[in-house]
Amino acid sequence: MEILTGNRDLLIKEECPLFTENSDERWARLIHRADLINTLISQLPPESVHLNHKCERVITYNDYAEAHFTNGISVDADLVISADGIHSKARSIFCNVTPVYSGYHAYRAIINEEATFGLASDNTLRIFVDGQVQVYLLPLQYRKQISVDITVPSEDPSWRPDIEKKDILKHLRNFDPKIQQIVESIEEFNCRALYDIDPLERWSSNCIPPARRCCTCYAS
Ligand X SMILES: Cc1cc2nc3c(=O)[nH]c(=O)nc-3n(C[C@H](O)[C@H](O)[C@H](O)COP(=O)(O)OP(=O)(O)OC[C@H]3O[C@@H](n4cnc5c(N)ncnc54)[C@H](O)[C@@H]3O)c2cc1C
Write phi, then psi, for 40 (nearest 5 degrees).
Answer: -70, -45
CB-nearer residue toward ligand X: 54 or 202 = 54
Cα 124–Cα 129–Cα 130 angle in degrees, nearest 5: 155
Give 121: exposed, middle or buried? Use CB within 10 Å, 0-12, 13-18, 19+.
Answer: middle
- Rounded Cα–Cα distance for residues 119 and 179 (Å): 8
User: Using CB under 6 A, which of the segments 5-13, 83-91, 162-170, 176-184 binds ligand X?
Assistant: 83-91
Cα 118–Cα 123–Cα 129 angle in degrees, nearest 5: 70
- Rounded Cα–Cα distance for residues 98 and 198 (Å): 8
Contact positions with ligand X (CB under 6 A) in 13-42:
none
85 binds ligand X (CB under 6 A): yes
User: Using CB under 6 A, which of the segments 44-52, 79-87, 91-99, 197-205 binds ligand X?
Assistant: 79-87
55 binds ligand X (CB under 6 A): yes
State in angstroms the smallest separation of the CB of 177 from ligand X.
25
Contact positions with ligand X (CB under 6 A) in 100-129:
106, 108
User: Using CB under 6 A, which of the segments 42-50, 58-66, 78-86, 169-177 binds ligand X?
Assistant: 78-86
Please list the alpha-helical segments (H only) found in 1-87: 33-41
137 binds ligand X (CB under 6 A): no
220 binds ligand X (CB under 6 A): yes
Contact positions with ligand X (CB under 6 A) in 200-219:
219
45 binds ligand X (CB under 6 A): no
Write the DSSP assignment of 40-56 as a string of letters: HHTTS-GGGEE-S--EE
Cα 38–Cα 36–Cα 143 angle in degrees, nearest 5: 85
Number of residues that bind ligand X (CB under 6 A): 12
Residue of 66, 78, 84, 167 that binds ligand X (CB under 6 A):
84
State in angstroms the smallest separation of the CB of 117 from ligand X.
22
Contact in structure between 135 and 173 (CB atoms under 8 Å): no
Q: Which residues bind ligand X (CB under 6 A)?
A: 54-55, 83-85, 89, 106, 108, 192, 194, 219-220
